[in-house]
Chains A and B, each alone.
Chain A
Amino acid sequence: MTDAPLLEVRALEKHYPVRSGLLRRVTDHVEAVDGVSFDVREGETVGLVGESGCGKSTTATTLLGLEDPTGGEVRFDGEPIADLAGDDRDRFRRRAQIVFQDHNSAFDPRLTVGESVAEPLAIHGLADAERRREIVADTLERVGLSAGDADRYPREFSGGQKQRIALARALVLDPDLLVVDEPVSALDVSVQAEILSLLSDLRDDLGLAMVLVSHDLGVVRQICDRVCVMYLGEVVERGPTAALFDDPRHPYTEALLSAIPEPDPDAVDDTVELTGDVPDPSNPPAGCSFHPRCHRVIAPEAFDLARGAFRSVFDLRLAVERGDVAVDEYDDSAAVRDEFGVPDRLGDDDAEQVLAAAVEAVAAGRIDDAADRLAAFESVCEREDPALEPVEGDADGAGGGNSGDGNGDGERPVACLRTDESVER
């Protein structure tokens, strides 16, 4: 194994235009992928994980050039793929393969499995039909099917088997890089285990570099060497799988981990509650895009508040700012506190004084007044957009000099203001 990564993704961006009005003018952009960087070496699997809409699938298709990036660079074997043309481009297309999520729509129902799997060979110039048949038979056996399955049709196979066929079709050209998008999300747990163990065997036998896209951290834990956690188009934390699972640094990673159902009915419920959905990517929140849902949102330095208490006050503040609070919605202050789970009395007297006045204003229907008062609870997370940076004091044995876009094996950068010393609170 050489030291140079096979795939280098640097500050990759994919912004989609939003058109509106009669002339379909571009009025806005959806930043589906916004500055994603990572490396993949030979024989290594990197996981992209996050909720629906975080841009993980777009990252996968964009890094393969299936969609043109609007910014950043992808290098494959040292060459920027945007510069590839002619034979070089064909060669890249052969060496980098993708398996899509939905195995039901991945096959032409009128082609036999053998024809489907052989198609990439024909496209890439293998004219000898006999030779194609041989390669297809070998590949099918490699993924745990039999050579005789080549003459059957996709509908005759179960979901797990179709996923194997999809893998065979991706492997038939003997690629160096394999991108797999949600390989097991549509499968039973028992079949998931089979597909994941097949993927890991293939990676080890063929020395494949793999990018695995999944919303399920349980799946990622099983086969990835390193993980990039994505939220709203950005990587919020990156690191080796074991380290990231043992000690998640970003609150979002923590929340994702705690959402995995624990297969033990006696387990203590230590769930980090992640409220709400992923925000609209065309209108992401200012500052740290996770702040509306974050359970560790930073309280202003002026106040000394417990984490949960501040979160509830902050929820009230956000609701008032957004205009989600109606003028005549609450009868009295207690009802307001109850609705947002704000404690009857905050530990910090100064904070309590400001809050009490604000809550009273909400109850009395003076929303603007309440908003002005609650401005005292503005969090730094609303203002500052954290960069993905290594944590201070973490340099020993980590990536060292090439911070920011480096991918040293032990490196664990995180995009969170709590660990960012440079930010003024």
Chain B
Amino acid sequence: MSDPLLSVRDLRVRFETDDGVVRAVDGVDFDVREGETVCLVGESGSGKTVACESITRLLPDSAAIDGEIRFDGTDLADCSASDLGSYRGGRIGHVFQNPQDALDPVYTVGQQVVEAIRIHRDVSKATAREEAVALLDRVGIGEAEARFDDYPHQFSGGMKQRVVVAMALAPDPDLLIADEPTTALDVTIQRQVLDLLADLGAERGMALLFVTHDLGVVAEIADRVVVMYAGEVMESAGVHALFDDPAHPYTRALLACLPGRGDPFETIGGSIPDPTDPPDGCRFHPRCPHAVEDCETGDHPAPRSAGSVTGTDHEVACLLYDDDHALPRELEVADD
């Protein structure tokens, strides 16, 4: 298999705060291949947003980023700020959670899409305008030509998010990073935006790194899933393997409290640990129903294959899956 488009290795992001050092991301590995949709899933505070924003260094200066972020052969973590500029918003596009904040209220949406085109490419205003109209039309803005001169406040939330997607698409990115792009939208509109992103990915061969806390959304859109908790990766797998045979107790707990699957009133219990003082060992152990003594000490468990049944691409960071521990019966994967 060819090299992945994006390969993140041992990514660590620290913030110095008044309460101490926050290790928001602490040794995270994941890959995104060309044209693939990878979902980063986790609760608030799991570090999924920080991990994404560190790729193109969108974080404030107080963030100390370590590790390797290899995008198409270049280590972005080593890149100078000016070199990074051609990737950020160029070959790597971003769509954020709140379209309200992503658009400037005093410029028309057309001007904003044109700007996104002309920042990265030297084209005439007239050409850029034509392209912008085509883009707006592609993302589903009806009468794009007429709405070109409208201001963001004249658009609904779902329409604004479509405009933001159009802006991100303007430089024809290879990778689109979408951080909770549908969380602020109604379910019906969420459905439309998810369909749009999936179509665009397939049509342009564009890879998608999608951040969400909602496993329902993951099931809709992902090829592969990376489950994060307290700054670390707990499990990564193809979407079918993850939903059919979840290995990590945390993934299982997340799935168990998902509406439409399992018990609607099932809860994980406890809350995500204090980021300045995470527990030793596996960070999930205080909430884990299967925790054994070894889980409470040492480092975060190294990822290992979750068994031959689910294939080699399925990795889980849990001591219970190594040879020294007996796997509790509930966690055994049905061999069928």
Q: CB-CB contacts of A262-278 with B at 8 A, as 1s and 0s?
A: 11111100010011111
Query: Is B190's CB under 8 angstroms from A265's CB?
Result: no
Distance in angstroms from A252 CB to nearest chain B CB is: 9
| Residues 254-277 of B contacting A (Cβ, < 8 Å) | 254-255, 257-261, 264-268, 271
Q: Is B50 an interface residue (CB 8 A)?
A: no
| Stretch in A190-198, A294-302, A395-403 with 4+ CB within 8 Å of B | A190-198
Distance in angstroms from A246 CB to nearest chain B CB is: 14
Query: Is B260's CB under 8 angstroms from A260's CB?
Result: yes
When the two chains form the complex, which single residue of B187, B213, B254 contacts A217, counting CB atoms closer than 8 Å?
B187
Distance in angstroms from B47 CB to nearest chain A CB is: 14
Across the interface, name the chain B residue whose C-beta is closest to A261.
B216
Residues on B with C-beta less than 8 A from A326 are: 145
Distance in angstroms from B192 CB to nearest chain A CB is: 8
Query: Is B243's CB under 8 angstroms from A265's CB?
Result: yes
Residues on A with C-beta less than 8 A from B214 are: 189, 261
Distance in angstroms from B314 CB to nearest chain A CB is: 14
Residues on B with C-beta less than 8 A from A188 are: 43-44, 213
Distance in angstroms from B298 CB to nearest chain A CB is: 26
Across the interface, name the chain B residue whose C-beta is closest to A201.
B265
Q: Is B181 an interface residue (CB 8 A)?
A: no
| Stretch in B51-59, B84-92, B110-118, B155-163 with 4+ CB within 8 Å of A | B155-163
Across the interface, name the chain B residue whose C-beta is closest to A275.
B192
Which interface class (under 10, 10 to 19, 20 to 34, 35 or more) fits A? 35 or more
Query: Is B216's CB under 8 angstroms from A262's CB?
Result: yes
Residues on A with C-beta less than 8 A from B291 are: none
Q: Is B143 an interface residue (CB 8 A)?
A: yes
For the complex, give the distance between the alpha carbons of A274 and B254 in Å: 29
Q: CB-CB contacts of A175-199 with B at 8 A, as 1s and 0s?
A: 0000000000000111101101100
| Residues 239-265 of B contacting A (Cβ, < 8 Å) | 239-240, 243, 253-255, 257-261, 264-265
When the two chains form the complex, which single residue of B142, B216, B265 contacts A193, counting CB atoms closer than 8 Å?
B265
Residues on A with C-beta less than 8 A from B194 are: 261
For the complex, give the distance between the alpha carbons of A172 and B189 in Å: 37
| Stretch in A30-38, A125-133, A218-226, A361-369 with 4+ CB within 8 Å of B | A218-226
When the two chains form the complex, which single residue of B192, B219, B239, B255 contacts A262, counting CB atoms closer than 8 Å?
B219
Q: CB-CB contacts of B137-148 with A at 8 A, as 1s and 0s?
A: 000001101000
Query: Is B259's CB under 8 angstroms from A52's CB?
Result: no
Query: Is B186's CB under 8 angstroms from A215's CB?
Result: yes
Residues on A with C-beta less than 8 A from B266 are: 193
Q: Is B188 an interface residue (CB 8 A)?
A: yes
Distance in angstroms from B242 CB to nearest chain A CB is: 8
For the complex, give the distance between the alpha carbons of A255 and B156 in Å: 19
Across the interface, name the chain B residue whose C-beta is closest to A276.
B142
For the complex, give the distance between the alpha carbons of A222 and B239 in Å: 26
Residues on B with C-beta less than 8 A from A222 are: 259, 264-265
When the two chains form the complex, which single residue of B159, B186, B240, B260 contacts A218, counting CB atoms closer than 8 Å?
B260
When the two chains form the complex, which single residue of B192, B240, B259 contacts A265, counting CB atoms closer than 8 Å?
B240
Q: Is B299 an interface residue (CB 8 A)?
A: no
For the complex, give the distance between the alpha carbons of A51 and B190 in Å: 11
For the complex, give the distance between the alpha carbons of A215 and B191 in Å: 13
Residues on A with C-beta less than 8 A from B264 are: 193, 196, 221-222
When the two chains form the complex, which single residue of A189, A216, A265 contacts B257, counting CB atoms closer than 8 Å?
A189
Residues on B with C-beta less than 8 A from A276 are: 142
Q: Is A410 an interface residue (CB 8 A)?
A: no
Residues on B with C-beta less than 8 A from A255 are: 188
Residues on A with C-beta less than 8 A from B187 are: 51, 215-217, 256, 259-261
| Residues 195-213 of A contacting B (Cβ, < 8 Å) | 196-197, 200
For the complex, give the distance between the alpha carbons of A277 and B214 in Å: 23
For the complex, give the distance between the alpha carbons of A278 and B260 in Å: 26
Query: Is A264's CB under 8 angstroms from B219's CB?
Result: yes
What are 13 A-B pairs with beta-carbon distances under 8 A? A51-B188, A51-B189, A52-B157, A190-B43, A191-B43, A222-B265, A259-B187, A260-B216, A261-B187, A262-B260, A264-B219, A265-B222, A277-B159
Given contacts A52-B156, A265-B220, 17 further A-B contacts (CB under 8 A): A52-B157, A158-B271, A159-B44, A160-B271, A188-B44, A193-B265, A217-B187, A218-B260, A255-B188, A261-B187, A261-B190, A261-B214, A262-B219, A262-B260, A266-B243, A275-B192, A324-B143
